[in-house]
Structure 1
């Protein structure tokens, strides 16, 4: 029976095998002049370069049957990616949009559209294996980062709740035993100045530690049309992080990481009006900013964030088994302020505080590498308390008042197991399942009408399976077919009602091919998603309305390749095609301005329901792609390196009705770096968005205006670094 199965699979995969041989020939051609043994060794070493933990255990990326975009720290710098929000410029199929200051990542068309009390993204972000749920703290710098892996597609079995779109895994550097360090300073357009430092070294024979410090400030690129000032979006950001690594024996490793981050950056809350659509447009003579990088509001706009986290990770070799413990505590506070009508007229503005505390504990037990049956199992506990202690709003010329206070506590307990067995030579079957229970407890105090004060709670149980068949065409190429289920946890939308919003679910089918040869990596995947019970959020009046509203269908293709063309030229390219459609979405929220002067709602945007069935899903461009080119040239005084990174996207919509569109655009970043002969000193000159493309990073419809912000315009700068 085993032989029959293997024979059948080989027949089905004949075309893939031929393709693999062709690509392998390209890869091996680069070392054709070397002896066969040396060539095999070179290929083997190349295979070991890219390792990931996408299946909760360290493996070669080529052997992992998941579509992954892996970016090293050097690749991120070459692409001009300095923070998580810029990752889409190097990862096709990924978007990092905003809802105010709340980050809204989307992968292959799967993402959230609005944020508020208790709401989370459906693209999970992890740092060193620890879940980061707070959307107000998810746009952070990538200083001293070793790598970033973007897992495309649902990861409900291994990464659990809120991973229907995928997961972003950020890995920071570990301390070294030797004393090393780096300092970097930079200056650029719009008064931008950055300084960072990294120190690492051994404290004892068994303990090493590092320290990362980062500070950035600038005037921003937005000009006030009211005051004429060009620093209304002035910002400051800072990070201090220390990791202490203790190795009491060869079988144990314990890492304690302490981090504190602050950001005073109003940029995402400084909005103009999409095509002039504001309640202020019915008031004659009202100044309304509509273009990129200008602002006509006068109410306070701000985002003042402070977050402290402590994580403790222990890795233990139990002699045939590996045990890992992840413990985390995060305490984050943010003060937000925004002018919701985007005009100098007093129509509606708000200021509010968000307190967010997260506690997680995870235990993983896994087999050793290289065994015929490899597996991992684990337990996960999560508790998050999200509090809006006050939401102060100002309506017209009346005095500000506190509208409500809310508190939401979400808990999750999960158990999972995932294993891979070689059922025949080169044929691997992976199966996994995760059981989870989510609870949401919420309270709402209406300070205007106490009769609306309410409390609610609800719980959900979920089971998310996974099954994968992978065939190893050669030691450096694989094909796979997978079925994966993901879910986004339910919640009690307490600011509107106690009626629970159920988890959204996605069934994903994917077939893919991966190759890793000497100087060449290539992978491609085709995918189909059946997406039900989408959690759709929209502003209706001043309330964020969340509901299970749609069934959707997504399918597409993506591919990426990296290649060393010569010993001096290398390229990195990727492209994604996504067809996304709301199969059934009656009663979608639209925004239509009341233009009847006799109406008490004159000028305000009301929300007649519209059938959005058949529409393209929001924030889901049909095509996107990246191209990175590097050229380095040794010279007598060191080395010169030139990098170009191109990102392109087709048009997409910011809403289900497809009323608010962003046309396709292209971003080009350029860098030139000189490095000294010793490698200790480098000078970089860079230009970001050098063609000065105007593109929207957010369109947020609301009752008082259709708010928008634009991405950064053309900017240039220089940075100097010294390593020791």
Structure 2
């Protein structure tokens, strides 16, 4: 097992950093605390600990984005939030529905059978899939990003962290807002909200939005559509009922739709099949030209998402404790259809109907102490029941057979392929035919139950000890059924090791559950947090903690799902093996996280600093990769990251606020001897990546912000804001070191708020027009061709709003 040779040195550097910061804080800002000017930073209230506390009194590594930050920076969705929160990253995939979130560099593979390492909660309701969190954000109070395992407070285990979105509750006082935005790429946004009390005990609110934008990745093929467009809308209603001083009920219903063409996967390296594409009249993107904001796909990848749900939140106060109940039911339907890769020939495309259907029920009960005394406690239970199914398939296009004919030595008229079919004993024209389908039905039922508790013992006015426990039991029942497979060529087992094996795109799968594979997994684990917090004075708090997290088994619910090679003999004996057997892994075993952390929270009138130094280890980290032909799902034996993150703010006057947030990460695969093979490698032979750094995790990420506010004499309020995002250079692949990414992104916004309730705001994002590749992967069906997702170019817009309160 490989370990860092310089670990002791780096830990010493981190410790020295902490000591220096603390020493400086003790001696310098004490004067600022005595400053009796009227200006200064506002204390931020958070609920990361399931109690309303100031950010400085919360001994958890949490980054908070306030409603003012969101409004000024024009944060429309979680993907925009990463420009302000360095520890958070949103990762693209071929469909907008396949986005994933990472905290401190680690994220889950995006797949139907994989639960997230980063849990997303909206008003305490767990969103089990990224598709339930990618719509435009509703009217918010704040977004809290919690780093590290959070199972002892959120019930549902989240091994890497939590994104907690807190929306605005209905107001009894009448208020409303409507906003219209026009931007480049013909972007049109309409947002509105209204809220009022219908009695002294009941308040209602209604909000919604519409967002449409043309694509910024242009089509090279005549008649094809541009990629990376937006077309989405959402609506959200709330009822707040407070029948007495001890009872608060809140009903929230939401519904949203997305119909978008995203995300362009442009070719950045052309493989040996490019001449065949050009021979048949297809377009090939020359990677030596300018940055590839053009695509050659003939058929767009279109995603349609329907997401909605209803939840009931009940808060009841009793003598010495309060009861919180959150009951929720959610639906999520996704249709992904279109071209498989960036290909100007219509060779094959994904069938999007009926797509994915997810229904989930969740229930959380929580008791929280409210009395005086040395003990503060929280106990609760969480139940989650979800059914997910997907009907997924590939249909051959009219250009596939001519394309294959060229590859086997023909001129595209099918003659060579007919000869090959004859030599294999297949009827002429029976292979790679237009309209042939490979169709599958896959899914799983998931039941998850946990009990959790958190106990804070106030030893004295300065010291607090915390013990948190969570016991989780997770059950999954997965299945895969092949409904149709017309690929006769792929069913020929004797070609498996020959030169034509790469043309066997869809060999018959082994359905499960079967007599060898049960399709069931059952995992249970007790996780914990131990923490000691020290309050030096009203301005300075410190803590040290150890926390563990757990993520249950994940199933490969795709048409690439393959049995383990150790089951080959049993499958053969049972007579249920494929005629052309392929082996891999049906599932990844559970993932376990351990985090050691030291934190400092400092708050003065003009200066605040939150700092966390950590060592985070993931045992059996779940990984997933795709080389264009084969999909691999596995566990990395051990992955770890040493680092620190900080968030500092400084307000020298009532007009100016400066902020600087950042992370430093030093990740490594301590033990990864079963890594997926690289391009050109034998797909049956794993690689050993032990001792190497994981892809896509930058060592340094920074977010610098400057805000200037001014109230003019005529009653108009003015602000100008600049946000700069920086990421150090990072490799985009574990196995191909040719591609790196570095981010330098500038966002600016400025606005005027007139005394007639009208406001005008101009905003721009990525004004430097920074160009970088987001990620790379092997192009489907084109060995040697490498495709990439590209970042969003310069965008800007003008927003006009009317608001009354």
TM-score (norm 2): 0.81
Cα pair 1:606 1:703 within 8 Å, conserved: no
- Cα 1:167–1:277 change in 2 (3 A) is farther
Structure-to-structure mapping, 1:277-426, within 5 angstroms: 279-280=273-274, 283-285=277-279, 286-289=282-285, 290=287, 291-352=291-352, 353-368=355-370, 371-394=373-396, 396-397=400-401, 398-426=434-462
- Structure 2 residue 666 is the aligned partner of structure 1 residue 661: no
Match of 2:788 among 702, 708, 717: 708
Structure-to-structure mapping, 1:364-513, within 5 angstroms: 364-368=366-370, 371-394=373-396, 396-397=400-401, 398-448=434-484, 452-455=510-513, 456-495=519-558, 496-497=561-562, 499-513=586-600
- Cα 1:660–1:211 change in 2 (3 A) is farther
- Cα 1:612–1:643 change in 2 (3 A) is same
Alignment partners' CA distance in 1, 2:330 and 2:28: 46
Q: Which residue of 2 aligns with 1:25?
A: 30
Alignment partners' CA distance in 1, 2:194 and 2:641: 46
Alignment partners' CA distance in 2, 1:19 and 1:212: 46
Q: Which residue of 2 aligns with 1:589?
A: 676
Cα pair 1:278 1:706 within 8 Å, conserved: no
Per-residue CA deviations over 1:336-368 (Å, capped at 9, x if unaligned) read 024223111234431331111111001000111
Cα pair 2:321 2:371 within 8 Å, conserved: no
Q: Which residue of 2 aligns with 1:79?
A: 73
Alignment partners' CA distance in 1, 2:791 and 2:605: 38
Alignment partners' CA distance in 1, 2:272 and 2:794: 28
Larger Rg: 2
Match of 1:634 among 689, 705, 711: 711
Per-residue CA deviations over 1:243-300 (Å, capped at 9, x if unaligned) read 11110111010110000011111122x3212333585465445423354321101023
Deviation of 1:476 (Å):
2.5
RMSD of aligned Cα (Å): 2.4
Alignment partners' CA distance in 1, 2:674 and 2:178: 55
Deviates more, 1:491-500 or 1:337-346: 491-500
Per-residue CA deviations over 1:402-460 (Å, capped at 9, x if unaligned) read 42110211110000011111113300100011001000101110124687221211101
Deviates more, 1:387-396 or 1:168-177: 387-396
Cα pair 1:161 1:487 within 8 Å, conserved: no
Q: Which residue of 1 aligns with 2:138?
A: 143
Per-residue CA deviations over 1:47-96 (Å, capped at 9, x if unaligned) read 7x312111222222212111111111111222332210111100112211
Q: Unaligned regions of 5+ residues in structure 2, if any?
A: 1-17, 402-433, 486-507, 514-518, 564-585
Deviates more, 1:198-207 or 1:658-667: 658-667
Deviation of 1:652 (Å):
2.2
- Cα 1:608–1:221 change in 2 (3 A) is farther
Q: Which residue of 1 aligns with 2:194?
A: 199
- Cα 1:197–1:19 change in 2 (3 A) is same
Cα pair 1:280 1:345 within 8 Å, conserved: no
Alignment partners' CA distance in 2, 1:560 and 1:503: 32
- Structure 2 residue 125 is the aligned partner of structure 1 residue 96: no
Alignment partners' CA distance in 2, 1:278 and 1:628: 47
Deviation of 1:552 (Å):
1.1
Alignment partners' CA distance in 2, 1:439 and 1:701: 34
Cα pair 1:121 1:162 within 8 Å, conserved: no
Match of 1:165 among 156, 160, 163: 160
Q: Which residue of 1 aligns with 2:56?
A: 62
Q: Which residue of 1 aligns with 2:579?
A: none
Alignment partners' CA distance in 2, 1:699 and 1:281: 22
Deviation of 1:546 (Å):
1.8
Alignment partners' CA distance in 1, 2:156 and 2:631: 22
Alignment partners' CA distance in 2, 1:536 and 1:232: 28
- Cα 1:316–1:132 change in 2 (3 A) is same
Alignment partners' CA distance in 1, 2:366 and 2:273: 54
Per-residue CA deviations over 1:537-583 (Å, capped at 9, x if unaligned) read 12266554322233112100111111212111111111110000001
Alignment partners' CA distance in 2, 1:363 and 1:573: 38
- Cα 1:23–1:546 change in 2 (3 A) is farther
Alignment partners' CA distance in 1, 2:293 and 2:371: 52
Report how many aligned residue pairs link the two structures: 688
1:157 aligned counterpart, secondary structure: helix
- Cα 1:627–1:15 change in 2 (3 A) is closer
Alignment partners' CA distance in 1, 2:246 and 2:272: 63
Cα pair 2:224 2:299 within 8 Å, conserved: no
Deviation of 1:607 (Å):
7.3
Deviates more, 1:144-153 or 1:442-451: 442-451
Cα pair 2:227 2:300 within 8 Å, conserved: no
Alignment partners' CA distance in 1, 2:373 and 2:796: 51
Cα pair 2:91 2:101 within 8 Å, conserved: yes
Alignment partners' CA distance in 1, 2:269 and 2:653: 49
Alignment partners' CA distance in 2, 1:161 and 1:613: 31
Q: Unaligned regions of 5+ residues in structure 1, if any?
A: 1-12, 35-41, 595-604
Alignment partners' CA distance in 2, 1:422 and 1:697: 47
Structure-to-structure mapping, 1:533-552, within 5 angstroms: 533-539=620-626, 544-552=631-639
- Cα 1:282–1:28 change in 2 (3 A) is farther
Cα pair 1:340 1:707 within 8 Å, conserved: no
Deviation of 1:511 (Å):
0.2
Alignment partners' CA distance in 2, 1:706 and 1:550: 28
Cα pair 1:392 1:401 within 8 Å, conserved: yes
Alignment partners' CA distance in 2, 1:702 and 1:303: 20
Name the structure where strand makes up a greater proportion of residues: 1
Per-residue CA deviations over 1:381-404 (Å, capped at 9, x if unaligned) read 011222112323436243141421
- Structure 2 residue 647 is the aligned partner of structure 1 residue 651: no
Q: Which residue of 1 aligns with 2:665?
A: 578
Cα pair 1:570 1:631 within 8 Å, conserved: yes
Q: Which residue of 1 aligns with 2:574?
A: none
1:168 aligned counterpart, secondary structure: strand
- Structure 2 residue 772 is the aligned partner of structure 1 residue 695: yes
Alignment partners' CA distance in 1, 2:33 and 2:509: 74
Cα pair 1:665 1:693 within 8 Å, conserved: yes
Match of 1:266 among 261, 270, 294: 261
2:695 aligned counterpart, secondary structure: coil
- Structure 2 residue 103 is the aligned partner of structure 1 residue 107: yes
